[in-house]
Homo-oligomer: A and B are copies of this chain.
Amino acid sequence: MARGRKVNSNGERSKQLLREKAIELFASNGYYQTKISDIVKAANVTQPTFYLYFDSKDSLFIDLNEQFQVDLFRLFEEQPGQNEAHFHQVIGNLLQYFSENPLLTKIGLYQSEGSYLVKERLVEKFEYILEKQKQYFSKLEQMDIHIVSQSLVGSIERLTFTLLLTNKKTVDQLTEELLSIYFVKDELLSYAT
């Protein structure tokens, strides 16, 4: 191919394309098995073009992770009222975001070596919320909130990857199921007896 500018080329578009292809490849193959050469091949440009828009393979990966984290924790900021409905909403929002951003989620929650930090932060968020919800769910009172939070994050992670991102279950289905595992309301429990 001749050197120089392509006909109809547009920088922002190229950058976006590279970013998208990188997300796809990182998500499915992981960091180490995704080569710059793969990314540029997928975007139909040459290697120097990659470096026109990104500093390095590493910095791009970090960028993607940061975007994921910013998006994710913004979900916790919108606090409506600390009532019993809150939990339902938080989990729903999380799953909704994962479902809308499956590739970024795979990267940020799976592939990244820093994903454990994200999950730790999630655990903290849940602990905070659970503490406040104790009153509504008597079951919680006899349990270790920290352990429950960790378990919950584990559940969310797994359900997301195996059932949500594979489109086997919907956000709503999983939200309901998670709630009924973790937050059987007292009244509900009584029905069982």
Contacts and interface: CB of A to CB of B under 8 A. Distances in A.
Interface in A131-162: 138-139, 142-144, 147-148, 150-159, 162
Sorting the interface of chain A by its residue count into under 10, 10 to 19, 20 to 34 or 35 or more gives: 35 or more
Contact of A154 (B142, B144, B155, B184): B155
A148 B182 CA distance: 11
B148 A158 contact: no
A59 interface: no
A7 interface: no
A186 B113 CA distance: 41
Given A32-B32, A157-B158, A158-B157, A151 B181 contact: yes
28 contacts: A32-B32, A119-B158, A120-B162, A123-B162, A139-B184, A142-B180, A143-B180, A147-B173, A147-B174, A148-B177, A148-B181, A150-B159, A150-B162, A150-B163, A151-B155, A151-B159, A151-B181, A153-B158, A154-B155, A154-B157, A154-B158, A157-B158, A184-B189, A189-B189, A189-B190, A189-B192, A190-B190, A190-B193
Interface of A: 30, 32-33, 113, 119-120, 123, 138-139, 142-144, 147-148, 150-159, 162-163, 169, 173-174, 177-178, 180-182, 184, 186, 189-190, 192-193
